Amino acid sequence: MPANERAGWARAGRVILTGAARRYLRRCALAIPALVVLLAAPLVGQAGERLSIVATTGMIADAAREIGGDSVEVEGLMGPGIDPHSYRQTRSDIVAMTRADLVLWHGLYLEAQMEEFLQRLAKRQTVVAVAEQLPRERLLGHEDYDDKRDPHVWMDPSLWAKVVVAIRDAMIEARPDREAMFRERADAYLERIERLGDWAAEVTSSVPDEARVLLTAHDAFAYFGRAYGFEVIGIQGISTESEAGLRRIRDLVDLLVERRIGAVFVESSVSDRNIRALVEGAESRGHAVRIAGTLYSDAMGPAGTYEGTYIGMIDHNITTIVRALGGEAPADGMQGRLAEASR
Ligand SMILES: [Zn+2]
């Protein structure tokens, strides 16, 4: 190639390269804002990002999972057998709550040992006490404190349904773009809770009048009693923080003997020591009392099982109570799903 021709190609090449470089730079300039949006999205929880929720009790965590499906990541702090009245946040709980998009707790003084921390956290983060939103007139009193209410509202499915609505609304507020989906899933879940309540009303009505007394380790069943017409007696009060004295045990032994109560229940989240003392006390006076099963009072059953869901927990309780007190309910519960071990 002659020298002048080579120089011509080189010039042309330079022009071509410069043009491509210019176009490349222009594309980059357009791409940079798009890249910024993509990088920033996870930080501000935009579309596609899962809503991270930390819930104190298993029942609240279960509802959040039902409502959110795959679009949420839910961590429940209190597992099976954990007593919420005495639970105190661990260091890893604090980390989880600080990082979460939304923290859901029960309120009504259930998480007595965490309340101060949660109220402090609420000053800088979205923290919602879901049971505090219930209408005051639907709440029962607290025998230990005039100004407090009985927190065990999950024992009445019709009341718990209102808490589920509060959980749904808190989730919608955190992710308004998911509103339609949260509403649709919540409606389906609320329908299942309504069926549970109807079924509970039906089977509890088969318990004979004289047997409608529920004696448990602590006063967690007052809403159950109100909903289905049972007298409920807890050895310890609404909270588990005060120990039952010998006098209380003696009085309850008298009551068991006088009223010929033949069945009492232990609870998965409270020691069975007091219940055993009652049974022994009644026996020493010639009245046989049997421990008729373990109820899930303040915590659900093992994770990954039917009893480890709110519906399974209540199904287990209702089935156990009805069958122990002489009523009629299938041994495997409302929908044939109760495990052999839980019967
Ligand atoms: Zn309790």
Same domain, 58 and 193: yes
Q: Which two tokens stand for residue 173?
A: 């507020």
Same domain, 69 and 90: yes
Span 183-238, pLDDT tens digits: 999 999 999 999 999 999 999 999 999 999 999 999 999 999 999 999 999 998 88
Instruction: Tell me the CA–centroid distance for residue 65 and ligand 1, in Å.
Output: 23
Residues sharing a CB contact under 8 Å with residue 268, sequence separation 6 or more, in sequence order: 80, 81, 294, 295, 296, 297, 299, 301
Instruction: Tell me the CA–centroid distance for residue 219 and ligand 1, in Å.
Output: 7
pLDDT at residue 17 in the model:
43
Listed as ranges, residues in the chain with pLDDT below 50 are 1-2, 4, 6-18, 25, 28, 30, 32-45
Same domain, 33 and 101: no
Instruction: Tell me the CA–centroid distance for residue 40 and ligand 1, in Å.
Output: 43
Instruction: Tell me the CA–centroid distance for residue 52 and ligand 1, in Å.
Output: 27
Instruction: Tell me the CA–centroid distance for residue 130 and ligand 1, in Å.
Output: 17
Q: Which two tokens stand for residue 289?
A: 């009392």
Instruction: Tell me the CA–centroid distance for residue 20 and ligand 1, in Å.
Output: 72
Distance CA 187, CA 179 (A): 12
Instruction: Tell me the CA–centroid distance for residue 110 and ligand 1, in Å.
Output: 7
Same domain, 219 and 292: yes
Same domain, 331 and 234: yes
* 324, containing H or E segment: helix 310-324
Same domain, 131 and 35: no
pLDDT at residue 238 in the model:
81
Q: Is 196 exposed, middle or buried (0-12, 13-18, 19+ CB in 10 A)?
A: buried
Domain edge (last residue) among 175, 201, 227: 201
Q: Which two tokens stand for residue 38?
A: 């993509």
CATH assignment of the domain containing 233: 3.40.50.1980
Same domain, 265 and 327: yes
Instruction: Tell me the CA–centroid distance for residue 277 and ligand 1, in Å.
Output: 20
pLDDT at residue 280 in the model:
95
pLDDT at residue 172 in the model:
98
Instruction: Tell me the CA–centroid distance for residue 267 and ligand 1, in Å.
Output: 10
Instruction: Please tell me the number of Cα atoms within 13 Å of 236 on its side-chain side.
Output: 22
Instruction: Tell me the CA–centroid distance for residue 151 and ligand 1, in Å.
Output: 8
Instruction: Tell me the CA–centroid distance for residue 250 and ligand 1, in Å.
Output: 22
Same domain, 22 and 76: no
Instruction: Tell me the CA–centroid distance for residue 270 and ligand 1, in Å.
Output: 9
Residue range of the domain that includes 334: 206-342
Instruction: Tell me the CA–centroid distance for residue 218 and ligand 1, in Å.
Output: 7
Same domain, 232 and 277: yes
CB 101 within 8 A of CB 45: yes
Domain edge (last residue) among 201, 219, 240: 201
Instruction: Tell me the CA–centroid distance for residue 226 and ligand 1, in Å.
Output: 16
Instruction: Tell me the CA–centroid distance for residue 286 and ligand 1, in Å.
Output: 31
Same domain, 40 and 126: no
Same domain, 88 and 110: yes
CB 72 within 8 A of CB 49: no
Instruction: Tell me the CA–centroid distance for residue 86 and ligand 1, in Å.
Output: 10
Domain edge (last residue) among 150, 169, 201: 201
pTM here is 0.84
Hey, what amino acid is at 250? R
Same domain, 67 and 174: yes
Instruction: Tell me the CA–centroid distance for residue 264 and ligand 1, in Å.
Output: 17
Instruction: Tell me the CA–centroid distance for residue 220 and ligand 1, in Å.
Output: 5
Instruction: Tell me the CA–centroid distance for residue 74 and ligand 1, in Å.
Output: 23
Q: Which two tokens stand for residue 111?
A: 């998480």
Instruction: Tell me the CA–centroid distance for residue 268 and ligand 1, in Å.
Output: 11
Instruction: Tell me the CA–centroid distance for residue 300 and ligand 1, in Å.
Output: 12
Instruction: Tell me the CA–centroid distance for residue 24 and ligand 1, in Å.
Output: 66
pLDDT at residue 341 in the model:
58
Instruction: Tell me the CA–centroid distance for residue 316 and ligand 1, in Å.
Output: 17
- Structural domain count of the chain: 3
Distance CA 264, CA 291 (A): 5
pLDDT > 70: percent of the chain: 85
pLDDT at residue 90 in the model:
97
pLDDT at residue 197 in the model:
98
